[in-house]
Structure 1
């Protein structure tokens, strides 16, 4: 079945192979400067079965339209005088085009706006973008991640309620209260989560208030919601064994993650995800300040049981920049912030331990309790927890239900 010239060129003007190459090079030079891989479909040569020159020959492929956010079909007509020449030109065009598609070529690239000085009349979304750039360059990575996630929630709300035209100066106390109401009534978020979102938004507007860009912080004056204190409940020996057996059979990588939290008292969040092979020393693990809660770089000791696991996984054989708990094993890619929590939930469900106030973070508490009863060495606990002083450690142990026997003082021998 043949194609008319109008059918072939329905998406693009007819052009020779040479013109096609030049056109795609122009597209390539307008790549959006983002480290993402865009969808595409590689080139294919379409020609008559009998190699007739009277019927159309063309190279077809699909390239990402950055403006319309969808794939766009392109067809380049081959118009050389012989079948052999067309095949040669097609081969060159396919090779060069495929290389450019794989490298990230797009059409109709979105022109990013240059963010200038923020003023009260600056669109609120633009003010958020500037604030996040500032935080990314001045704060720890996990702080940036939190602000980005929380402010995305506000952005989604503004989009849903058709309020994206609000400016930094026109967002008032009433807007802020309406947003909190939305989180309570429509989103039905927990009070603690809402309080955290309010704190982030208050920090955002406070940033511009300190710069005297706006006069008032619209979130100031909104009270925090009541939060019932809840503690991460540690695991009993029987519960820990049940999860261990599940992990060793179904998810060994989860048990590796649990082991670093349990033995190293490493916080089950950004601290854990950011650990690299280079952080493993002969006897200790380095927790880098940029990734820790305190902001200080500190070492924790590697117990013999954890060292055995490290050697079992041959972790020290990987490149030093690889994340220990990366995607599908040590890799250059850090997992997302909820990755291990999601996998842990599956383990809790499989072992029927849901609804008992257990979570992934509780493995740190379980480890602290185990080390205390095995050693009763308060300084060892303090050091491994990276507490600044013994008083902090004593309060921490008390929160875990560990109390000291003050009657021991009565064993003081008489003089």
Structure 2
């Protein structure tokens, strides 16, 4: 039982106050402050004489009080949320987002927030979160796109990431609506920053890499056959290879999308792994171990990419060709050899087919054989 339940506390009865805006005012005892605290009701449908009468019947009993002033504390918190500065709110959202993001994504968001906050401090010092609008976002993007020569893709990524954090703030009650939802993006031209290797290029690279660095060649094969990403492959353990059903498990903690997944293992990769004798080692070891064989420690994140670049450059390949190009090559060759787009999408672990179609178009291989070969003659 509440020790204060049967006590009598001072109060001031409710009254209707007339003015530019009518409200009901009354005073109750605050246990936390040890004094009377004024309370106002401004809700239109509650401001009337009948409501005053109802309130006074309760107040006159003398045992109504504010428990630890919780109602006022809550109001103060809500007020602070409403009036929070935009830069403070974005820093808070960034901190909260770290629990759901992976390292690279967290760094990207931090870079974007830092630059946006700098722009706000330089041009809109002291602006509150609730006063952000699309005009400010447009000015920010235009300024830095010109100053830093951003591509349309970079510009869009900045606006999308900042908008994502503002949506988080909306969920936390700091803002009613996200002003950046639906913000116009710039059209992105198809990029050739990653390209697929043709048959001749593949043979040249295979002859060079398989002899000079067999482990690096195994990395290339993983990318080609599984459509996995270099950072995922370098962290694969022997136990993730499921020979009984020709699958490879990619756990959430290494997957780019942060979710457990499995990809099919083509027979060529299966045989390559068997021939490499990796199953002679304990299953808890990394396949591409740091010492050149399966071991307890995997390579650093960009170790394979750096080694690959040295060999690729020595053969005169353009900068657009990278280690990642083996993934693009595998996808491209699979599609050209008749693998269904749905199966490619599943192997890529894409969210939907539209993502896969866009990917195939960027590689220049998504087309209709029926249109090319079965079109009627005019």
Shorter chain as denominator, the TM-score bin is: 0.5 to 0.7
Larger Rg: 2
1:211 counterpart = 2:156: no
Q: Which runs of 5+ in 2 are unaligned?
A: 1-76
Quick one: distance in 1 between partners of 2:327 and 2:201?
A: 15
SS across alignment from 1:213: coil
> Secondary structure in 2 aligned to 1:189?
coil
How far apart, CA to CA, are the structure 2 residues paired with 1:261 and 1:151?
30
CA shift at 1:381, angstroms?
A: 5.4
Q: CA deviation at 1:300?
A: 1.5
Partner in structure 1 of residue 369 of structure 2: 404
Q: Deviations over 1:301-341 (max 9, x none)?
A: 24334542465273662552x554566655446744x5555
* Native 8 Å contact 2:252 2:261 kept in 1: yes
- Take 1:181 and 1:307, find their aligned partners in 2: how far apart are those partners? 53
Query: In structure 1, what is the Cα distance between the partners aligned to 2:142 and 2:372?
Result: 52
Determine the structure 2 residue equivalent to 1:366.
Answer: 329
Return the offset for 1:288.
3.2
SS for the counterpart of 1:119 is helix
Distance 1:407 1:198, change over 3 A: closer
Q: Is the 8 A contact 1:284 1:301 kept in 2?
A: yes
Q: CA RMSD in A?
A: 4.5
Superposition deviation, residue 237 in structure 1: 1.4
CA distance in 2, matches of 1:120, 1:319: 54
Pairs aligned (count): 287
Corresponding position of 2:132: 172
- 1:286 is paired with a residue of what secondary structure? strand
1:255-294 → structure 2 map (5 Å cutoff): 255-266=217-228, 268=229, 271-282=232-243, 283-288=246-251, 291=255, 293=257
What is aligned with 1:192? 153
1:183 paired residue number = 144
2:81 is paired with a residue whose SS is: coil
Pairing partner for 1:254 from 204, 207, 216:
216
Distance 1:299 1:367 in 2: 13
Match of 1:193, SS state, is helix
- Alpha-carbon deviation of 1:269? 5.5
After TM superposition, give the deviation of residue 235 of structure 1 in Å.
0.7
Give 1:202's aligned residue: 163
**Any residues of structure 2 matched to 1:325-336 within 5 Å, and which?**
325=288, 330-332=295-297, 335-336=300-301
Whole-angstrom distance in 2 between the partners of 1:150 and 1:214: 20
Shift in alpha-carbon separation, 1:181–1:325, aligned structure 2, 3 A: farther
Which residue is 2:61 aligned to? none
Give, in whole Å, the separation in 2 of the partners of 1:132 and 1:353.
40
Alpha-carbon distance in 2 for matches of 1:233, 1:346: 18
Contact 2:196 2:321 in 1 (8 A): yes
Give the match for residue 93 of structure 2.
131
Matched, 1:233 2:198: no
Q: Hey, what does 1:297 align to over in structure 2?
A: 261
Aligned equivalents of 1:395, 1:200: Cα separation in 2: 21
Q: Which of 340, 345, 354 is residue 318 of structure 2 equivalent to?
A: 354
In structure 2, the residue matched to 1:155 is 114
The alpha carbon displacement at 1:260 in A equals 0.8
SS of the aligned residue for 2:93 comes to: helix
Q: What SS does the aligned partner of 2:174 have?
A: coil
Distance change (3 Å), C-alpha of 1:380 and 1:326: same
Question: Is the alpha carbon distance of 1:238 and 1:188 closer, same or farther for their aligned partners in structure 2, counting shifts above 3 Å?
Answer: same
Aligned 8 A contact 1:285 1:301 in 2: yes
**Residue 6 of structure 1 corresponds to which residue in structure 2?**
none
Q: CA deviation at 1:196?
A: 1.3
Question: CA–CA distance in 2 between the matches of 1:278 and 1:204?
Answer: 37
CA contact (8 A) 2:196 2:326 kept: yes
Distance in 2 (CA, whole Å) between partners of 1:383 and 1:345 is 29
C-alpha separation between the residues in 1 aligned to 2:353 and 2:184?
34
Query: Deviation of residue 205 (structure 1)?
Result: 1.1
Structure 1 runs not aligned, ≥5 long: 1-115, 411-415
1:268-313 deviations in Å (ceiling 9; x for gaps): 2554355333312223211335626494622422433454246527
Whole-Å separation in 1 of the counterparts to 2:369 and 2:220? 28
Change beyond 3 A, Cα 1:154–1:236: same
* Runs of 4 or more consecutive aligned structure 1 residues displaced over 6 Å after TM superposition: 387-398, 406-410
- Report the secondary structure of 1:354's partner residue: coil
Counterparts of 1:206 and 1:391, CA distance in 2: 24
In structure 2, the residue matched to 1:80 is none
Kindly provide the CA deviation profile for residues 174-224 of structure 1, in whole angstroms up to 9, marking residues without a partner as x: 553343234312322322122112101111112112333124545457531
Q: How far apart are residue 407 of structure 1 and its match?
A: 9.4
